[in-house]
Amino acid sequence: MRLGFFLVLLLTMTTTTSSVLASPLKLNYSLFFGYMKTIYKLDYEYVTTAFYLQDKDSGQACLIKNAQIVVDQKREPITFTTQGQLLPFYSQQHRKDGAMIEVELLAGQENYQCDLQVTLMAKEFESVQLSDPKLALISEQLEGILKKNAGMIGKYFLPTFSGVRLQLTEPLSKQQLSALPKQVNLSENGDLLISNVLLNSDLTDSTVLLKIDRITPWITP
C-alpha cells in the first residue's frame, strides 16, 4: 500500500533528506521517480509535481549552484532553479541503475539543513489564460492525481479534497474581497480557498484571476 507516499504528496509536507553539512547533498533518484511516475502515466495537461529544497529551520530556499544525476561514474546535468527547485527528468533506466542526484549549494549555506518539499500544484501558467472553467479542470486533475497515488486501499483514508488553494501575487483590495461569493474562504496567510462547487460557477472577475500565482489542493480533515 502506498498510503505513506500519497499522504506526503497530499498534504504537501516536507520529506527530510540529509543534512547539507556534508557536501554535495545526495538524494536518491527513486524518491523523485515515484512521484513523477503518476504524472507521467496520467499525462495531465495542467498539473505537475514540484520538488523544492528548503532549510529545515528557517523555511528559506536552499539556493542551488549545480545539480547532477549520477550513475556509477557517469554524470549528467539536471535542470534546476537557483531558488531551490529541482527539475529531474523521468527515466526508468536511471531508477533501475540506482541513480543519485547530487546538489551543490551556493556559498554561505554551510549550516543549512535542507529538506525536500514535494508539492502537487498547477503547472506554470499565464494569468491572462486563466478562467473559471480552467480552474475547475485544474481542480479535477489535482484530485485525480491524489486518488491515483492513494491506490485501491488508500482511497478510503483520503482526507477531503475540498477544492483549490489560490496563492496570490498580492493581497486583494477590500472591494475585490467584497465582490467574491460569501462561500469563498480566506486563509490566515491570505490564500483564497475555493470549493469545487464554486469552481463550476461564475467565481471571479479578470482582475482576481490575474493575481493568482500558485494553485495547489485545498485539503480538509
| % of the chain with per-residue pLDDT over 90 | 42
In terms of pLDDT, which residue wins out, 13 or 143? 143
SS3 188: coil
Helix (H) / strand (E) containing 196 = helix 196-199
pLDDT at residue 13 is higher than 80:
no
**What was the pLDDT predicted at 202?**
64
Expressed in angstroms, the distance from the first to the final Cα of the chain is: 21
| % of the chain with per-residue pLDDT over 70 | 84
**Predicted confidence band at 37 (pLDDT cuts at 50, 70, 90)?**
very high
Q: What would the mean pLDDT of 81-90 be, rounded to a whole number?
A: 92
pLDDT at residue 17 is higher than 80:
no
> How many whole angstroms separate alpha carbon 21 and alpha carbon 32?
22
Residue of 29, 24, 28, 51 whose CA lies nearest to 105: 24
pLDDT tens string 184-218: 888 988 899 998 888 866 665 666 777 889 999 99
In terms of pLDDT, which residue wins out, 32 or 83? 32
* Mean pLDDT, the chain, integer: 83
**What was the pLDDT predicted at 47?**
94
pLDDT tens string 106-123: 888 877 888 899 899 999
**What was the pLDDT predicted at 28?**
95
pLDDT at residue 158 is higher than 70:
yes
In terms of pLDDT, which residue wins out, 101 or 124? 101
| pTM, to two decimals | 0.79
pLDDT at residue 73 is higher than 70:
yes
**What was the pLDDT predicted at 120?**
92
